[in-house]
Amino acid sequence: MLGVHAGDSLGATVEFSPWAEIRDRYPDGLRDIVGGGPFHWPPGHATDDTDLTRAVLLAYLEPGDDVVRTAADHMMAWYDGAWPGREPGSRPVDIGNATSWGLRKYRRTGDPRDAGAGAGRAGNGSLMRCIPTGLAVADRERRVRESMEISAITHDDERCTVACAAYNEIAAALLAGADPSDAVTEGREAAKDLAVVAEAVEFGRSLRPAVLAAHGPGSALEAEASGYVLDSLVLAVAAVLDPRPFADVVVDVVRVGRDTDTNGAIAGGLLGIRDGVDAIPAPWVATLQFADEFTAAADRLAGRF
């Protein structure tokens, strides 16, 4: 959870910036959480990535029979401004189109399984928030189902739902002690029925974040890391297979450019499981808006296993 938050807050400073611009501003990469960016974030403030991850997390910390509905209700609270660090009633300053569409549809239908932005909208807005399912659910069948159903509240394109399932199988395998390569194999297995996602997981094995950071995404990433769900999944797989320390890898993922906060968050989540909290630079953690809350939540989740 802190890995998601740290990657998000680091990348927020250069969100939407292309690789060449980041290279010129930060030749060695952005290595401190300083805030700013197009939305003028305070240092360590959650963007929509961490906020919506928190919405899913809260659903798993509360008793109830329908975690999908509870997650959707927390997303609506965020959308409507009932959220820490926000003026009550204010709308989010940053929200993806598919997320906005899906939540507005949920308000109309009242059914979290009849929402979603529809096929053809394959952004990374559900992948960025899905990791609480991978951390909270021990049963594989339930974990895959809930990964997909929570994705579909806003992102019901099959590439998104299956990407979330694959990502959370990687997360769960890492949490159980698997080495990163074996964990990635688990993710690919979860995606086997949708070739385009399985191929994206496998393609991530061939990429090196340091090379992408040094030379730009080029043709390696279909949408140049600008928000396509499979670009973000590819980067996360490449990141978790990179043997370097947490900070070095996340810095390089952010250096790739474009959707830097979300790519940093998605990669940071897997790296956080792989390396543990002590690998995240202490000055980064000290700035994070929800650091104490996420630490307490992790202790509660750990008690369930």
Can you say which residues are annotated as belonging to the binding site for Mg(2+)?
Answer: 47-49, 259, 261-262
- At the top level of CATH, the class of 2-302 is mainly alpha
Asked if residue 126 has pLDDT above 60, the reply is yes
Asked if residue 303 has pLDDT above 80, the reply is no
pLDDT at site 302 = 86
Q: Facing residues of 123 across strands?
A: 228
**Across 215-235, average pLDDT:** 95
Cβ-contact 37, 13 below 8 angstroms: yes
Specify the residue for token string 């990669």: 267
- CA distance linking residue 100 with residue 155, whole number of Å: 10
What would the pLDDT profile of 83-104 be if each residue is shown by its tens digit?
Answer: 999 999 999 999 999 999 999 9
Asked if residue 124 has pLDDT above 70, the reply is yes
pLDDT at site 63 = 86
Query: In the chain, what percentage of residues exceed pLDDT 90?
Result: 97
Asked if residue 55 has pLDDT above 90, the reply is yes
Specify the residue for token string 């992790």: 298
Three-state DSSP string of 24-41: HHCCCCCCCCCCECCCCE
- Residue 122 burial (C-beta neighbours within 10 Å; 0-12, 13-18, 19+): buried
Cβ-contact 60, 133 below 8 angstroms: yes
Can you say which residues are annotated as belonging to the binding site?
Answer: 47-49, 259, 261-262
User: What pTM, to 2 d.p., does this model score?
Assistant: 0.98
List helix spans (H) across 46-179.
Answer: 48-61, 67-80, 97-109, 131-136, 140-152, 158-175
Going from N- to C-terminal start, the domains of the chain cover 2-302
**Across 204-223, average pLDDT:** 96
pLDDT at site 305 = 52
What would the pLDDT profile of 148-183 be if each residue is shown by its tens digit?
Answer: 999 999 999 999 999 999 999 999 999 999 999 999
Average pLDDT of the chain, as a whole number = 97
pLDDT classification of 304: cutoffs 50, 70, 90: low
What would the pLDDT profile of 236-276 be if each residue is shown by its tens digit?
Answer: 999 999 999 999 999 999 999 999 999 999 999 999 999 99
- CA distance linking residue 169 with residue 244, whole number of Å: 22
Q: State the maximum Cα–Cα separation within the chain, in Å, rounded to a whole number.
A: 51
Residues 6+ apart with CB under 8 A from 37: 12, 13, 14, 15, 261
